[in-house]
Amino acid sequence: MPASASDPSKRRLVVTGAHGFVAGSVLSQAGADWQVHAVSRGEPMAGRDNLQWHSCDPLVPGELARLFHEVRPHAVIHTAAMADIDVCQAKQELARAVNIEFTRTLAKLCAESGARLVFCSTDTIFDGEHAPYGEDAAPGPVNFYAETKVAAEKLVSGLGAQGAIARLSLVVGLPVFGAGNSFLAKTIASLKQGRAVAFPGHEVRTPVDVITVGRALLELAGGTQRGIFHLAGLTRLSRFEMGQTIARRFGFPQDLVKDQGPATTPGRAPRPRDVSLDNRQTRAQLKTPMRTLDEGLSLILESTNTLYARA
Ligand SMILES: NC(=O)c1ccc[n+]([C@@H]2O[C@H](COP(=O)([O-])OP(=O)(O)OC[C@H]3O[C@@H](n4cnc5c(N)ncnc54)[C@H](OP(=O)(O)O)[C@@H]3O)[C@@H](O)[C@H]2O)c1
């Protein structure tokens, strides 16, 4: 264990799903005032003075309780989830275990220990027919992934002032560690090889960059805000238009980006049409600024040489 891992002057933060896309942004941006404990089923990936890895399977009974006993966290950022909508639809028992029961265990441990819990939810809990959705809008899940997230939100809201629910819009960015769930990385890889990419022109979102998401999650972990927060960008556009913007900003021919059309792929779970988020209440409560897609992509392009180079 590094010497600083037990530094009593630092607040202790547990980050679940540490190999994932969003977790990488949190881990790479957590300041020296945090002692970070990265929890993952995988092997440790990168080292920092204030970062300690815990390799374990959090679904094994007793593992999370043992970790809480050892770390005694002040806060938890819970990013771990089965985040693939189609996999959740096909493997509902596992999706329930990962997305609901894992959250239930964490919520119970936080309630017992007084730790703060910041939970990553999703824009896709909404039905897609009544956008834009404010923080107080009623969920209307159209697939099983969304159902699990709504159930987990209820568990976290049961914590009262100790809990914060961060609903993430579609997250755009490049992974810091590992690969994770980054569609931008896959898009750039295809465009680099001159291969066409197709995105649905009828699915509308308010994408948010992964750097902003990481900063906002850390702000929530260190703060006292309670309730629901919409971590969403300020640009509302279709996923096809998003693909075109990405191609333009990364210097690829825009005609490689195709509109996938409304045809549904066999086995694809239902998707809500327009889950644009209204984040006015969130912006009033957070210091971290929410950005337009162009601003977010600029941040990603700049950070490729600075923040990400540190990882
Ligand atoms: N990316 C987006 O556009 C987006 C949008 C809205 C909401 N979200 C939410 O934001 C959070 C982070 O998303 P992400 O994009 O970072 O996802 P991701 O890259 O797929 O990472 C999720 C992590 O969850 C853990 N996990 C997955 N399956 C598991 C299992 N069977 N048992 C235990 N842990 C498991 C894994 O961590 P380890 O391998 O380290 O164990 C995985 O790396 C999720 O809660 C997701 O629902 C994401």
Instruction: Report how far apart, in Å, the C-alpha atoms of 190 and of each of 20, 131, 161, 174 are.
Output: 21, 31, 44, 14
- Which residues, listed in sequence order, are joined to residue 35 by a DSSP beta bridge? 12
DSSP string, 9-63: TSEEEEEESTTSHHHHHHHHH--TTEEEEEEESS-----BTTEEEEE--TTSTTH
Distance CA 206, CA 281 (A): 16
Distance CA 293, CA 298 (A): 9
Distance CA 85, CA 242 (A): 20
pTM of the model: 0.96
Q: pLDDT tens string for the chain (311 positions)?
A: 443 456 778 999 999 999 999 999 999 999 999 999 999 999 988 778 899 999 999 999 999 999 999 999 999 999 999 999 999 999 999 999 999 999 999 999 999 999 999 999 999 999 999 999 999 999 999 999 999 999 999 999 999 999 999 999 999 999 887 667 788 999 999 999 999 999 999 999 999 999 999 999 999 999 999 999 999 999 999 999 999 999 999 999 999 999 987 766 777 899 999 999 999 999 999 999 999 999 999 999 998 755 443 33
Instruction: Among 41, 56, 133, 231, say which to mutate for ligand 1: greatest number of ligand atoms within 8 Å of CB.
Output: 41
User: Domain extents for the chain?
Assistant: 7-180+207-234+276-293
Q: Could you give phi then psi for residue 269, rounded to 5 degrees?
A: -70, 155
Q: What is the pLDDT of residue 305?
A: 53
Is the previous residue joined to 132 through a cis bond, with omega within 30 degrees of 0?
A: yes
Residue nearest to atom 32 of ligand 1 (CA): 98
Ligand 1 centroid to residue 98 C-alpha, Å: 10
Residue 225 burial class via C-beta count within 10 angstroms: exposed 0-12, middle 13-18, buried 19 and up: middle
Ligand 1 centroid to residue 309 C-alpha, Å: 23
Ligand 1 centroid to residue 9 C-alpha, Å: 30
Instruction: Among 25, 39, 76, 120, say which to mutate for ligand 1: greatest number of ligand atoms within 8 Å of CB.
Output: 120
Structure tokens at 98: 């990962």
Distance CA 20, CA 27 (A): 10
- CATH class, domain 7-180+207-234+276-293, is alpha beta
Q: What is the pLDDT of residue 181?
A: 79
Q: What is the pLDDT of residue 48?
A: 81
Does the beta carbon of 171 sit less than 6 angstroms from any atom of ligand 1?
yes
Residues with Cβ within 8 Å of 70's Cβ and at least 6 positions away in sequence, in order, are none
Does the beta carbon of 82 sit less than 6 angstroms from any atom of ligand 1?
yes
Residues with Cβ within 8 Å of 201's Cβ and at least 6 positions away in sequence, in order, are 238, 239, 240, 241, 259, 260, 261
Does the beta carbon of 120 sit less than 6 angstroms from any atom of ligand 1?
yes
Q: What is the pLDDT of residue 303?
A: 85
Q: What is the pLDDT of residue 310?
A: 38
Ligand 1 centroid to residue 23 C-alpha, Å: 8
Q: What is the pLDDT of residue 49?
A: 86
Alpha carbons within 13 angstroms on the beta-carbon side of residue 179 total 5
- Which residues, listed in sequence order, are joined to residue 38 by a DSSP beta bridge? 15, 53
Q: Could you give phi then psi for residue 174, rounded to 5 degrees?
A: -110, 135
Does the beta carbon of 38 sit less than 6 angstroms from any atom of ligand 1?
no
Does the beta carbon of 118 sit less than 6 angstroms from any atom of ligand 1?
no
Residue 120 burial class via C-beta count within 10 angstroms: exposed 0-12, middle 13-18, buried 19 and up: buried
Distance CA 199, CA 243 (A): 7
SS3 214: helix
Does the beta carbon of 181 sit less than 6 angstroms from any atom of ligand 1?
yes
Ligand 1 centroid to residue 147 C-alpha, Å: 16
Of 92, 167, 93, the C-alpha closest to 124 is 167
The β-bridge relationship of strands 237-238 and 204-205 is antiparallel
Ligand 1 centroid to residue 255 C-alpha, Å: 31
Instruction: Among 14, 15, 19, 167, say which to mutate for ligand 1: greatest number of ligand atoms within 8 Å of CB.
Output: 19
